[in-house]
């Protein structure tokens, strides 16, 4: 009698030998072992393999194994650090690109402001406050009306800060070797 199961016979037998089967699975396998010759032969084969694995000792590497491996690696030329793989001109170009984009976007935003908010015909001495009173009349909604401009500005500023941080870290490590 052969039982149609989802798991193959060998996997089910290994689970049975290792004690990982459920109680229902154990009783089903025991019934198959008493009735089916193929299951019995496979079970005996796997049980012998299990006993051989339990009886054998694993070979431990020699105490000097790690040192031998490290000495062998030291004989070969190890690749230089990644610092030599990165072309500094490319990094500078990327930094210049982002700085140019930030500067261009800043100029664009500043040109979108309405800087002539009030009348400047009758300027009295008391109104001379370096133009700070006119900042109340500046309309900033025209500059930041697009979601794309806001997202791009945010990304450009974050990338600028990251590049500045990398530059300052490299400068710090170069000063303190």
State pLDDT tens for residues 59-112: 777 778 888 888 888 787 666 666 566 777 878 888 888 888 888 878 877 777
Contact predicate 5/31, CB 8 Å: no
pLDDT-derived band at 127 (thresholds 50, 70, 90) equals very low
CA-based end-to-end distance of the chain? 77
Contact predicate 156/105, CB 8 Å: yes
Calpha distance 116→138 (Å, rounded): 8
CA angle 105, 141, 162 (to 5 degrees): 35
Whether pTM exceeds 0.85: no
Q: Tell me the per-residue pLDDT of 139-176, one tens digit each, with 9 for 90 and over.
A: 666 666 677 677 777 887 888 888 888 888 888 888 87
CA angle 38, 42, 48 (to 5 degrees): 150
Tokens of 89: 């001109």
Q: For residue 170, what pLDDT is reported?
A: 85
Tokens of 55: 């009886």
Calpha distance 122→171 (Å, rounded): 54
């Amino acid at each position: 009698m052969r039982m149609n199961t989802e798991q193959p016979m060998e996997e089910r037998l290994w689970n049975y030998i290792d004690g990982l089967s459920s109680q229902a699975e154990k009783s089903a396998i025991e019934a198959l072992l008493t009735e089916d010759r193929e299951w019995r032969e496979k079970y005996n084969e796997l049980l012998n393999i299990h006993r051989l694995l339990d009886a054998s000792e694993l070979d431990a590497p020699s105490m000097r194994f790690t040192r031998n491996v490290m000495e062998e690696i030291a004989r070969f030329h190890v690749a230089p650090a990644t610092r030599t793989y990165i072309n500094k001109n490319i990094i500078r170009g990327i930094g210049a690109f982002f700085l140019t984009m930030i500067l261009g976007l800043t100029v664009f935003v500043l040109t979108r402001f309405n800087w002539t908010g009030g009348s400047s015909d009758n300027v009295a001495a008391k109104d001379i406050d370096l133009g700070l009173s006119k900042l109340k009349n500046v309309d900033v909604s025209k500059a930041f009306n697009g979601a794309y401009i806001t997202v791009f500005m945010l990304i450009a500023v974050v990338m600028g800060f990251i590049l500045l941080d990398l530059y300052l870290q490299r400068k710090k490590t170069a000063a303190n070797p």
